[in-house]
Structure 1
Amino acid sequence: MKTFDEKHIKNIVLIGAAKAGKTSLAEDMLFEAGIINRRGSVEEKNTVSDFHDIEHEREGSVYATLLHTEWRNYKINIIDTPGLDDFIGEVVASIRVADTVVMLLNAQYGVEVGAELIWDYVDQYKKPTILAINQLDSDKAHFNQTLEQARNFFGNAVTVMQYPLNQGLDFNCIIDLLKMTMYQFPPSGGKPKKLPIPPEEKERAGRLHNELVEKAAENDEALMEKYFDKGSLDEDELRQGLKIGMMKHEIFPVFCLSTRSNMGSGRLMGFIDNVAPSATEMPAELTEVGEEVSCDPKAPVRLLIFKTLIEPHLGKLSFFKVLSGEVSAGMELENPRTGAIERISQLFIADGKQRHPADRLKAGDIGCTLKLKNTQAGHTLNGKGASGAIDPIRFPLPKVRTAIIVSNKQDDEKLSEVLAEIHTEDPTLEVEYNKELKQVILHGQGDLHLALIRWRLENVYKMQVEYQPAGIPYRETIRRPAQASYRHKKQSGGAGQFGEVFLKIEPWYDGLPPVKEYPVRGTEEVDLPWGGKLVFNNCIVGGAIDNRFLPSIQKGIMEKMNEGPLTGSFVRDVRVSVYDGKMHPVDSNDISFKIAGMMAFREAFHQAQPQLLEPVYDLEAVAPEEMMGEIMTELQTRRSIITGMESNNGRQVIKARIPQAELDQLYASLRNVSHGKAKVNASFAEYAPVPADIQKKLSQQYEEQEPGSK
């Protein structure tokens, strides 16, 4: 295929709420450029972009899909993304490698929830942004209302570039304020007629054109001087000012579309060619240590892998952006993160499931290759002369979790392999093999995200699985000192077993005074793997127990701390002082004192006012002010403690502390009460005491499951 130089490559990502028309716009762009000879539709399941079975079943995008088109000697790489927050990882990676964001807004519904949530990532990367108001041929289309919502949400950077003359079912005309022309489309869409602006629209068009000129001029001193001298700017000067403003994130041009009728896509592509920045004009990428990597075709080769896709009959596909240099088939590149050398056996330009072989790709271009063994999404590949990794893609943290089991136990090992493979494709899915809870736990972005994973396991990998509630990693401790003793005695035909241990346990905390009742002959502090401490004191005098048996006593105590007496959870923050005991000259051995130490600890623990602790999280919920009442009510019904409220960018922020046991269901409930407009983040804060009624209930459940636990 034709190789484009770095100045004639434009990389765009299509984002927006579900059903905003992203996939249809991509289809129009390919059709207008002659890449395809017939436009497909989502409903007919024949679009270039949505080609996976699950996308056909859902009639919507689930994966980010790479496409390309050629328009007037420019190559436009297009990434079509899903519109649901559950698949946000696909969107974040695509925004990272794009140079311009095209956000679609549905003229029927304005700025929808999906657009609001995605915008945080666009704003974070400060990507040049175009707003495209779609579905202007709907009977419920309302351009002005959508424009007002956009300005309320995105700010004064929203700049009208076009407006519809006749929105609604008869829509076929767009007034273009850059060219001061009216485009009139035939009923089938496609190439429009260029007509003069109707007399009745000249005043409005002139006023909006002047606003556009002022907006373009104010971003550059030289243009501002020309504007003052001439009172206006010509078309080339306008383009220059618009590009500067877009790159400063201070101009978001607004375009008009009907993707269903193929109206407006050609003009949008022309603007992308002429105004949207290429990779060479964008700020340099940074390595992890802050070194700049400019988009220079003569520099050493650097690739940023942004997506991995595993196809059953093809293997592992890795999608990348060429950040610098020129990559060609047969090159060997180093992954600085893993140290692996990867051979680029083949290069492809992608159009959905179609891949076109390419000999080379220059800086700024996007492509894919096959069978990289030790390289994942977010990794860097360096050619000779390049070193260090590019600052990685930062994927959002999971919000929900579930335990997973296979119906056929023989598939346990296969499940591990398959989940590792899915995680390679989808870094926002985290897989945890929790030994403490004895569960395999999936952490995902939402219930729909987890439902998709289950669909893939059952339909692609042919594994029947079940989802179950994920356990809570409780901790156990004590609230007061207690003493206990235990004699282990066992007689059999030969040598018997005998060991007796007297010990005292106390709650441990930083600054706890030394033991006064008994002489301490030695102390060992153990930092527990699950948090907290065990402080073990040897207070034996007079040789009641040989020193050689003390490690066995401690081992028995540790075994019981691994499975606490109250609920089987880990025990933490206890000081144990072994102060007396008895031995037998023949029958005493390590196992005897291990059992005696374990049982004495258990008896003392039950007398020491045991306390169950639960993980508590710091939570931040961001939502429109009118929804604060419902969100506050929902939080308070889930044992939350509100710690603060503040206003941020016209939205309210609630901060709270919430137990993990309540957090698992909170995300779905807040999504419901806020109609999807609440954005929730949570991070672990501390372990805190469980209320007495809940502790009693959990302890009783454990006793019923483990009859010998008490």
Structure 2
Amino acid sequence: MKSYLTNQIKNIVLLGNSGCGKTTLAETMMFEGKVIERRGTVEAKNTVSDYTEIEQVYLRSIYSSVLYTEFQDHKLNIIDAPGGDDFVGGVIPALRVANTSVMVINAQNGVEVGTEIQGRYVEQYGKPMMFFVNQLESDKANWDSTIDSIHQSFGKKAIIVQYPVNAGTDFNGFIDVLMMKYYTFKGDTGERTTNEIPAAEMDTANELHNALVEAAAENDESLMEIFFEKGSLTEEEMSKGIRRGMANRDLFPIFCGSGKKNIGIKRLMDFIINVSPYPNQTINPTDNAGVEVPIDSKAPTSIFVFKTNYEPHIGEVNFFKVISGKVTEGMDLVNMNNDTKERITQLFASAGKNRTKVTELYAGDFGCTVKLKNTKTNHTLNGPGAPWVFEAITFPEPKFRTAIKARNEADEEKMSEVLNRTHQQDPTIIIEYSKELKQTILHGQGEHHLNILKWHLNNTHKIEVDFVAPKIPYRETITKIAAADYRHKKQSGGAGQFGEVHIVIEPHVEGAPDKTKFKVDGKEINLNIRGKEEVKLDWGGKLVYYNCIVGGAIEARFLPAILKGIMEKMEEGPLTGSYARDIRVAVYDGKMHAVDSNELAFKLAGRNAFKNAFKIAGPKIMEPVYEVEIMVPGDKMGDVMGDLQNRRAIIMGMGSDRGFEKIIARVPLSEMHKYSTTLSSLTSGRANFHMSFLEYEQVPTDIQEKLLKVYETEQVED
């Protein structure tokens, strides 16, 4: 394979709803570039893009595939992105490194859920976009309704460049209103005949041609002047205007064809080569310090790893984009994220499951390598003279959580290794080992997303696992003042154990003054504060510990042991075993024995005195509350609002955003289990949401009683 310079490289990402034909389109593009000798099909499970076992089981893309083809002395890098929103972890990195997005539309269905969702991501990343209306050979293909749906979702910026003459089972050609030619195709060979536009189509072709000319002229003042003077533009002038319009996201060209029958694919590739931007014609990327980095082959070498795969018999495969300079086989680079040295022993151009060995790659190109020791996704590798570190790819917050456990306890360690490796491949899967909940919690983009992981554990790695409902990280606190004492006394022949502790506790409010006078059950307690320690708790909130011992009732050396006992009970709250927080504890009296008192005795006395006081101090369970923002189609608002009411949600705000209704609500985490699945069911997959932690607040009394009963039952069973 030849080496391609920056001005010979185009980088695109194929987007679209599952089933729109992205993988088939990519297969045909590679076939036309002679990168593969025969075209595979999704149904036959032999495409180079969907090559993993799980993708062949589901007959759909689950992971992004990095591909390439060669056409007109150019290298066209292609990322075939998954269509389901559960697998957005493959979409976001592709948008980060690609320069143009090609939104593939199924002509049978028009704009679908995945189209709308991925269109919002394209807008967020500010990428040029074009449409390819696919599957026009299907008997249910409907060009007019498809165009209507595109205009409804993406506006009049979407401009027709091609339209089919006979969509349906007889589809074999289209009219290109940029070239003003009628192209027909023979079978599925891609063999094309150029014809004059039939007289019956001339009015339609002229109307669409004029609309395209106007759209192209609007994006360039000099072209607008030519258009007003001559009333038309040349093909070259139109291409210039379209290029600028795409760069500004003011124009989204619409192409048509059939990936399956190889109709229009060469023309699509020709347009991408001639009109879409080269890597160095886009906005320069910036590093973490905000410094612009030129995409220049003569600059120092810097590459950014945007994807990591783990493959049997190979190990980790790192996919990267050359940001600047050039990378060569045998080159030594420094990982700027961990300051380790890495040698690029082998370089490949990736075509899905096929890898082509190369010796060098220039700025703007994609490649992959193996056997790197300390390099993962989001890492920057630099050569001499390159100081840059590129910002990590930001992924959407998780929407689904579940606990996981191995059926065989002996598999726990192996399961943990696989989970950690999975996170490296898909950063949208987050693994949390919760000491508090005594569970391994998985966070993902949806139920199907995590079910795919479960399939891999069960089938690929032969680890039988179960998903169980995740526990909720409740907190415990108090609402009023209480006092208690406890004497720990134990005699067992020799030296015994003795320690007596008297405490008073109250809720901690940040900024409130220290209190020295309390009245508890009619008894006045006056404190002489001799020492104060504020413990900032790892799980949030504080414990404030006062030493109010006078007259040597308890020696100072035993006070840390009392605090240790209290902290043990803070870590396992008296109500449900959850963490306790925001409490002030004053030790004001006690007794000790000259021989039998020791640290253990006072630790146990402090622990039990705190436990007894806690239970009479108006104890309350607090639950985590999240802010949930939901984007929902207007016709589904009632269903979604009704479901939220059943989840104890409080609506905080409503509005509209890009054709969707937006709901902002406060919802307890305990009510969000499997919400992504429910929301998808209520809205036929058209709604989307994200959630972020807000605060802890007290649970209602009836729910607290239920939680107490459940905990008591668990304690009895244990």
- Describe the SS at the equivalent of 1:664: coil
Q: Which amino acid aligns with 2:576?
A: T
* 2-structure distance, mates of 1:45, 1:266: 24
Alignment of 1:150-299 (within 5 A): 150-299=150-299
Q: Which amino acid aligns with 2:672?
A: L
* 1-structure distance, mates of 2:572, 2:255: 63
C-alpha distance after superposition, 1:266-302 (max 9, x if no partner): 1101101111111021110111111111211111111
The 8 Å contact of residues 521 and 539 in structure 1, kept in 2 or not, is answered as yes
The 8 Å contact of residues 483 and 505 in structure 1, kept in 2 or not, is answered as yes
- Describe the SS at the equivalent of 1:304: strand
- Describe the SS at the equivalent of 2:321: strand
The 8 Å contact of residues 398 and 690 in structure 2, kept in 1 or not, is answered as no
TM superposition shift of 1:336? 1.1
The 8 Å contact of residues 191 and 266 in structure 1, kept in 2 or not, is answered as no
* 2-structure distance, mates of 1:624, 1:507: 45
- Name which of 593, 606, 616 aligns with 1:607: 616
- Give unpaired runs (5+ residues) of structure 1: none
TM superposition shift of 1:37? 2.8
Q: Which amino acid aligns with 1:310?
A: Y
Q: Is the deviation greater in 511-520 or in 25-34? A: 511-520
* 2-structure distance, mates of 1:241, 1:342: 44
Q: Is the deviation greater in 274-283 or in 137-146? A: 137-146
* 1-structure distance, mates of 2:326, 2:550: 77
C-alpha distance after superposition, 1:639-693 (max 9, x if no partner): 1100000111221110000011111222211111011111101000000111111
* 2-structure distance, mates of 1:314, 1:497: 62
- Name which of 598, 616, 625 aligns with 2:625: 616
* 1-structure distance, mates of 2:362, 2:130: 25
Q: Which amino acid aligns with 1:658?
A: V
TM superposition shift of 1:442? 1.0
* 2-structure distance, mates of 1:131, 1:536: 65
* 2-structure distance, mates of 1:510, 1:351: 59
Alignment CA distance shift 1:522-1:707 (3 Å): farther
Q: Does 1:540 align with 2:541?
A: no
Q: Does 1:515 align with 2:528?
A: no
TM superposition shift of 1:496? 1.0
- Describe the SS at the equivalent of 2:156: coil
* 1-structure distance, mates of 2:106, 2:632: 21
C-alpha distance after superposition, 1:51-105 (max 9, x if no partner): 1111111111111111111112111111111111111111111111111111101
Q: Is the deviation greater in 616-625 or in 64-73? A: 64-73
- Describe the SS at the equivalent of 1:175: strand
* 2-structure distance, mates of 1:590, 1:262: 82
The 8 Å contact of residues 401 and 664 in structure 1, kept in 2 or not, is answered as yes
C-alpha distance after superposition, 1:544-568 (max 9, x if no partner): 2222211111111111111000000
TM superposition shift of 1:191? 1.9
TM superposition shift of 1:327? 0.8
Q: Percent identity?
A: 52
| Structure 2 residue aligned with 1:673 | 682
* 2-structure distance, mates of 1:593, 1:317: 57
* 2-structure distance, mates of 1:532, 1:295: 48
Q: Does 1:311 align with 2:311?
A: yes
Q: Does 1:552 align with 2:561?
A: yes
- Name which of 691, 701, 705 aligns with 2:714: 705
* 1-structure distance, mates of 2:43, 2:680: 27
- Give unpaired runs (5+ residues) of structure 2: 518-525
* 2-structure distance, mates of 1:316, 1:120: 31
Alignment of 1:398-547 (within 5 A): 398-513=398-513, 514-516=515-517, 517-547=526-556
The 8 Å contact of residues 483 and 503 in structure 2, kept in 1 or not, is answered as yes
Alignment of 1:585-600 (within 5 A): 585-600=594-609
The 8 Å contact of residues 283 and 294 in structure 1, kept in 2 or not, is answered as no
Q: Does 1:686 align with 2:687?
A: no
The 8 Å contact of residues 447 and 676 in structure 2, kept in 1 or not, is answered as no
TM superposition shift of 1:260? 2.1
- Describe the SS at the equivalent of 2:667: strand
Give the TM-score normalised by structure 1.
0.98
The 8 Å contact of residues 545 and 582 in structure 1, kept in 2 or not, is answered as yes
Q: Is the deviation greater in 407-416 or in 595-604? A: 407-416
* 2-structure distance, mates of 1:656, 1:20: 34
| Structure 1 residue aligned with 2:383 | 383
Q: Does 1:9 align with 2:9?
A: yes
User: What number of residue pairs does the alignment pair up?
Assistant: 709
Q: Which amino acid aligns with 1:293?
A: V
* 1-structure distance, mates of 2:631, 2:240: 37
Alignment CA distance shift 1:432-1:539 (3 Å): same
Q: Which amino acid aligns with 1:125?
A: Y
Runs of 4+ in 1 over 4 A off after TM superposition: none
C-alpha distance after superposition, 1:536-594 (max 9, x if no partner): 11222222222221111111111111100000000101111112111122211111111
TM superposition shift of 1:38? 2.1
The 8 Å contact of residues 163 and 175 in structure 1, kept in 2 or not, is answered as yes
TM superposition shift of 1:46? 0.9
Alignment of 1:340-419 (within 5 A): 340-419=340-419
TM superposition shift of 1:708? 11
Q: Which amino acid aligns with 1:120?
A: R
* 1-structure distance, mates of 2:21, 2:43: 12
- Describe the SS at the equivalent of 1:579: strand
Q: Which amino acid aligns with 2:431?
A: V
TM superposition shift of 1:694? 1.3
| Structure 2 residue aligned with 1:48 | 48
Q: Which amino acid aligns with 1:316?
A: E
Q: Does 1:123 align with 2:123?
A: yes
* 1-structure distance, mates of 2:603, 2:36: 76
TM superposition shift of 1:430? 0.7
Alignment CA distance shift 1:231-1:528 (3 Å): same
* 2-structure distance, mates of 1:275, 1:406: 53
TM superposition shift of 1:315? 1.5
| Structure 2 residue aligned with 1:650 | 659
| Structure 2 residue aligned with 1:573 | 582
* 1-structure distance, mates of 2:579, 2:673: 21
TM superposition shift of 1:234? 0.5
The 8 Å contact of residues 188 and 260 in structure 2, kept in 1 or not, is answered as no
The 8 Å contact of residues 163 and 256 in structure 1, kept in 2 or not, is answered as yes
